[in-house]
Amino acid sequence: MQSLTGGWRAVSDLAQTAIGTAQPVTELLNFEGTDLMEPEPDVFFENTTEVTGSLLPTKHKLLNLKFAGKHKSKATPSVVGLFASMAMGSDTATVVGATTAYLHKMQLNAGLVELPYRTMVENDGNSQFSFPGVACSGFTLSGARGQFCEFEADLIGSASEGADATAKPAANAESYLAYGDCNFFAGGAYDGTTVTGAASLSGQLVNFKLAFKNNAKGKYNVGDSSGHVGAIRRGLTYSVELDAEIELEDRSERAALLAGTEFVVHIPIVGGVANGAANYTVDIVLPRAVYKAAKKGVADGILKIAGKFAVLSDPVYGGFDLRVTNLFAHSYLATA
């Protein structure tokens, strides 16, 4: 019997230059919230449908491999920045005023075809392997009263692996983001930098969940006998989904649903001080959202609505801006 005690994961801060070109891992991740990540058969052939004169298959072949998994942990700006930059395909980093903190602005990249890759190392307490060519096909960020914010990344990889002896990196100093760090605003105006005039729903908010998917798929190259994925490409379209459970104070949400009212949604999550006037922050702006459901319910004697939002593309500001502020001093998509 083997114990998981001592297990850990790590990921490269630097993106890979190509799917098979590994980078050193520097960001320690908790080992939690998911099954073990390792390649497994994608297509395993047996000639079960051929008439061969035998009652059992007579031929077999492992055609290709797949790598799919999840990383789930409490949210920190670093974890969000690492995986969101991979999934969205962009990150512009700028220093924050007279501080040593950096603002990372991530937006949907319409020109992206092949996703960015990172290298991951996993130690499961028994053995340690390196997985180069890992991409992020989507992520979920959620928060609820009395809880920490949770983050989950959907991972897809080349299925290449190798024995690894990398030393365990040092832990990141960032603290977890919690419900007390969150606010939730609807309405107002967005100018590409700041949301103004929005109404706070934070006092009524019970929980929220934001999910992004780029619908990525792996591509196997003809002539490549390794069985590994040769490239990971985004899907034709992206999707952004937002759910929020809100205590009912009036019928404004239902009125907005029936009227098809479009508005800005702003979710700033502001943690402790990073440096000077800069805080560890994850800041989300959906420039153009509309209710697509606002079903009434009851919880502990309080009326509530289960709000579901359609997230649309804004002709000027796009459909989804995500900003991370921390002490990471270069773009999350830098390769050197």
**pLDDT digit string, tens, across residues 41-50:** 999 999 999 9
Strand, coil or helix: 174 = coil
Q: Is the pLDDT of residue 261 over 70?
A: yes
**Pick from 214, 213, 187, 211: nearest CA to 308:** 211
Strand, coil or helix: 272 = strand
Strand, coil or helix: 198 = coil
Over residues 155-178, the mean pLDDT reads 94
Over residues 52-60, the mean pLDDT reads 95
- The tokens for 63 are 């055609």
Burial class (CB in 10 A: 0-12, 13-18, 19+), 178: middle
Residue 35 is predicted with a pLDDT of 62
Residue 222 is predicted with a pLDDT of 96
The pLDDT confidence band at residue 102, using thresholds 50, 70 and 90, is very high
**Pick from 252, 241, 259, 263: nearest CA to 190:** 263
Over residues 255-270, the mean pLDDT reads 94
In a domain, 332, yes or no: no
Residue 7 is predicted with a pLDDT of 86
**Pick from 314, 332, 310: nearest CA to 323:** 332
Residue 17 is predicted with a pLDDT of 97
In a domain, 190, yes or no: yes
Torsion of CA 51, 57, 59, 61, to 10 degrees: 120
Confirm if 103 and 93 have CB atoms less than 8 A apart.
yes
**Pick from 97, 101, 95, 106: nearest CA to 139:** 106
In a domain, 251, yes or no: yes
* Cβ contacts of 277 within 8 Å, gap of 6 or more: 96, 97, 99
Count of domains for the chain: 1
- Model confidence over 12-36: pLDDT tens digits? 999 999 999 999 999 999 877 566 6
Q: How far apart are CA 52 and CA 44, in angstroms?
A: 19
In a domain, 333, yes or no: no
Strand, coil or helix: 149 = coil
Q: What percent of the chain has pLDDT over 90?
A: 87
Over residues 192-206, the mean pLDDT reads 95
The pLDDT confidence band at residue 249, using thresholds 50, 70 and 90, is confident
The CA radius of gyration of the chain, in Å to the nearest whole number, is: 22
- The tokens for 247 are 């205590």
* Cβ contacts of 155 within 8 Å, gap of 6 or more: 37, 67, 68, 69, 70, 71, 120, 134, 135, 136, 137
- The tokens for 254 are 């239902």
In a domain, 250, yes or no: yes
* Cβ contacts of 110 within 8 Å, gap of 6 or more: none
Over residues 269-277, the mean pLDDT reads 97
Strand, coil or helix: 255 = helix
The pLDDT confidence band at residue 184, using thresholds 50, 70 and 90, is very high
Q: Is the pLDDT of residue 1 over 80?
A: no
The pLDDT confidence band at residue 5, using thresholds 50, 70 and 90, is confident
In a domain, 318, yes or no: yes
Over residues 233-254, the mean pLDDT reads 93
Say how many CA atoms lie within 13 Å of 34 toward its Cβ: 23
In a domain, 51, yes or no: no
Q: How far apart are CA 309 and CA 244, in angstroms?
A: 8
Chain mean pLDDT for the chain: 94
Residue 237 is predicted with a pLDDT of 94
Does the pTM surpass 0.85? The reply is yes
Q: How far apart are CA 100 and CA 326, in angstroms?
A: 9
Over residues 282-296, the mean pLDDT reads 96
Residue 33 is predicted with a pLDDT of 55
Confirm if 245 and 201 have CB atoms less than 8 A apart.
no
- Amino acid found at 272: G
- The tokens for 198 are 């929005």
Confirm if 77 and 93 have CB atoms less than 8 A apart.
no
Give the domain extent around 285.
Answer: 8-44+62-326
Residue 34 is predicted with a pLDDT of 62
Confirm if 73 and 33 have CB atoms less than 8 A apart.
yes
In a domain, 179, yes or no: yes
Phi, psi of 193 (to 5 degrees): -125, -45
